[in-house]
Structures are given as structure tokens and as C-alpha cells.
Amino acid sequence: MAAPNQRLEVTLDTQLESVDLAENIVTRVAEAAGFGEDDLHKLGMAVREGVINAYNYGNCQDRRKKIVLAVEFEPETMIVHVVDEGCGFELSEVADPLAEENLLRTSGRGIFLMRAFMDDLAVRKGPTGGADLVMYKKLPHHVSGNGQSQAE
């Protein structure tokens, strides 16, 4: 089990390969923290969507820019940051992909999936003014009820 207040930070290039790399890094860390298979899939997918967002929309596929992936642990929560060097955005600006008029759009579902697969999502300003996507997932031993992430 990961100890509280640990932090891992990796700087990724703005390239397609970073999407898989980020997913692999986070799922390995999450596996070590005790998450089960279903949550590992959700975490990996949420991070994947975050890095795709940074690659496509934040950094506009500009290879000179970087994507920072950070994983932190608080006593009850795993927190993942995906920080780009774009202009940032507000969650309220993001169109609802479930709205009838957006169902046939070929893009615009990433933020929705991050929200669906994590316990919480926030968007802050990163150090260069880009978006800092902050994703929260309760650690397995803190999931109540019949959650699938039972550590014991």
C-alpha cells in the first residue's frame, strides 16, 4: 500500500506515445496501491483521456511543449494531475456530449469520461497558464458500500 503524501512526477513529450506511457505509469502505481482490475481500467482510461486532451487541445500537438503527469497520495485519495502548456479552460465551457445535438460529434467525450471514471475532476490553471486536470480516486480501503475496490 502506498504511504500517504507520496508524489511521482513525470514530464512527457507532446507525442502520441505519451498517451500509452501515462496510462501504463498510472495503472502500475494504482495497482501497487491496491486498486482492483476494474478500477485500474477506469483510472487508466481517465488518465489516457487527460493526456489525449493535453496532447490535442492543450498543447495542440506542438512537440516543443510538455505534458506533466503527477500522481499524489493523500491518506484516503489518489490524485492524478495532467498539466499542459496551453491556454487552459473552464469545465463550464465544455459541451455536454450527452445532449441530443452533440451525440453525433466525433470528439468532445474525454472530459465526460474522466468524470465518469474518477470520483471527482477539477480543472485549475497550471504554472504556465495551461490546464491542470486534477483527478481524484478514493483509495480502495476507503471505498464504502459495495464498491469494487476492496483492498482486503
Partner 1 sequence: MEDIAIVDFSGKITLGEGSATLRTMVRELVGKGHRKILLNLGDVDYIDSSGIGELVGAYTTVRGASGELKLVHLTKRVHDLIQITRLFTVFDVQADEPAAIRSFRSPA
- The residue ranges that bind partner 1 (CB under 8 A) are 16, 19, 41, 45, 48-49, 52, 97-98, 103-107, 109-110, 112-113, 116
Which residue number, 3 or 104, has a Cβ lying nearer to partner 1?
104
Which residue number, 52 or 72, has a Cβ lying nearer to partner 1?
52
Please state the closest distance from residue 2 (CB atom) to partner 1, in A.
25
3-state helix, strand, coil in the chain (%, to 5): 35, 25, 40
- Bridge partner residues of 63 (DSSP): none
Please state the closest distance from residue 113 (CB atom) to partner 1, in A.
6
Contact 43, 118 (CB under 8 A): yes
Give the integer Cα–Cα distance in Å for 115 and 118.
5
Please state the closest distance from residue 56 (CB atom) to partner 1, in A.
8
Which residue number, 11 or 15, has a Cβ lying nearer to partner 1?
15
Contact 48, 19 (CB under 8 A): yes
Write the CA distances from 72 to 9, 38, 60, 140, integer angstroms.
Answer: 9, 20, 26, 15
Q: Is 85 exposed, middle or buried (0-12, 13-18, 19+ CB in 10 A)?
A: buried
Which residue number, 44 or 72, has a Cβ lying nearer to partner 1?
44
Please state the closest distance from residue 12 (CB atom) to partner 1, in A.
14
